[in-house]
Amino acid sequence: MEMNDMVLISVDDHICEPPTLFDNQLSGDLLASAPRFNTDAHGKNFWSYQGSIRPSVGLNAVVGRPFEEYGMEPTSLDQLREGCYDVHARIDDMDVNGIAASMCFGNSIAFDGQTFHKAPDKKLSLRHMQAYNDWHYDEWCMAYPGRFIPLGILPTWDMDATVAELHRIADKGFRAIVMNENPTVQGLPSIHNDYWDPMFRAIADTDLTIALHIGTGNPAPHASMETPIEAWISTMPLSVSQGLADWLQLEELHLYPNLRISIAEGGLGWVPYFMERADFSNWRHKAWTHSRFQNMKPSEMVKRHFLHCFFDDKYGLQNLEAVGEDNAAYECDYPHSDSLWPETPEHLWESVRHLTDAQIDKVTHGNAIRWFRFDDFLKHNRREDMTVGACRARATAKHVDTAPKSSGGARPTEETRPVTSGDVMEMFRKHAAEREAA
């Protein structure tokens, strides 16, 4: 196999939702009360809903900028590549990057739909969340059948409504749902509480995959506000281990052997040690902890239920046997700063070229198809049309421009010292205050 022969499916990308998000899904009072796209007197965009403000229209959506501008946060849609919010431009940006298909998390509603969870009028929130799911499927995914894995959000504040929505979107054609990795931050019971039993049963019945995304629940810690931001960024993927450890102890994993859980933006390299440590801890402590792992090792459960997603992990891929060749899937993370767009194939090929062709197929697209039951990809596409070479040939024919463009944005500080975690947090605080004032 050569680089251009690879077929790439990204299981973690993002949408910076367009201003017309609800226009075709709602009308009348429901449309008037839906999340609203706003522009302030300075031309800055923000979303508002039921009295709350989400000041960033494109959190970390810096793809296509010069590296020196990566620390700038977009404050309006015109500072973003059109592919961030326009599905047709997104397909062009996928093609030029050799990406055959993508699963897209939200942005304006937060990765896990937090906007709807925080709103006080839950009756309206439910209806607007359903409209968001319909937009995601009808207007984003179905604009190009077989190019996107439909990903739904759930009204988990109401378990009856959650179960009903699970069945509704599964019937519609969704393949996955996103959930907060630690719902206690939403004021809900922990995943170990009986509250969640009906949801897990419905997920098992509908054969949907659970997608967990870094940053939704468990924080990525940093030592202090004076810690250089680069230190914080370096350790962010490791924060996923806290969620994995918690979910690994979920009783439902023993009850539903086909339950599938994908973890976005954690990478691979730390996973073998995590499994080793979990097995060691179980061996040393199960006699007194009343552990559910008496006849089965935790590492075996990890390999049975969890998909680990990576965008740049040479070490993890060199140790793929320890991770599990059936448990790794590629993610591009477009349009965030970790994304290697538009040079993903070049970087990825250097990391996977030592693998067998069968293993390359698994980690680049096969595992994604299997874990997300993405049969639509096979139904609507031929392999020869979806390779890196074929995708890029389409982009070349369209003259897709990939030249870096300076777009402006907000700087955390104008000082020449290293940017700190506190600088970035203060920048976001000021943005929120400005939007509240507007």
Q: What is the pLDDT of residues 233-292, one digit of tens each?
A: 999 999 999 999 999 999 999 999 999 999 999 999 999 999 999 999 999 999 999 999
pLDDT < 70 positions in the chain? 438
For the sheet containing 176-178, what is the strand order?
Answer: 151-152, 176-178, 209-213, 261-264, 306-310, 328-330
Counting other chains too, the contacts that 342-349 makes at CB distance below 8 Å and 24 or more residues apart are: 342/93, 342/96, 342/97, 342/402, 343/97, 344/8, 344/97, 344/98, 344/99, 345/3, 345/4, 345/6, 345/8, 345/97, 345/98, 345/388, 346/3, 347/312, 348/6, 348/8, 349/3, 349/6
- Which residues, including other chains, have CB under 8 Å from residue 186's CB and lie 6 or more apart? 114, 117, 156, 157, 180, 217
Would the pTM of this model clear 0.85, i.e. be above it? Answer: yes
* Domain locations along the chain: 3-437
Q: Please state, in angstroms and rounded to a whole number, the distance separating the CA atoms of residues 200 and 157.
A: 15
Q: Please state, in angstroms and rounded to a whole number, the distance separating the CA atoms of residues 219 and 437.
A: 28
Question: Which amino acid is residue 201, in one-letter code?
Answer: R
**Phi, psi dihedral angles at 102 (to 5 degrees):** -150, 150
Tokens encoding 208: 């949907």
Q: What is the pLDDT of residues 149-205, one digit of tens each?
A: 999 999 999 999 999 999 999 999 999 999 999 999 999 999 999 999 999 999 999
Q: Please state, in angstroms and rounded to a whole number, the distance separating the CA atoms of residues 154 and 113.
A: 8
Tokens encoding 83: 């592919």
- Which residues, including other chains, have CB under 8 Å from residue 383's CB and lie 6 or more apart? 7
Report the CATH number of the 3-437 domain: 3.20.20.140
Tokens encoding 344: 């993903």
Q: Terminal CA-to-CA distance of the chain, rounded, Å?
A: 55
Strands 151-152 and 306-310: unpaired
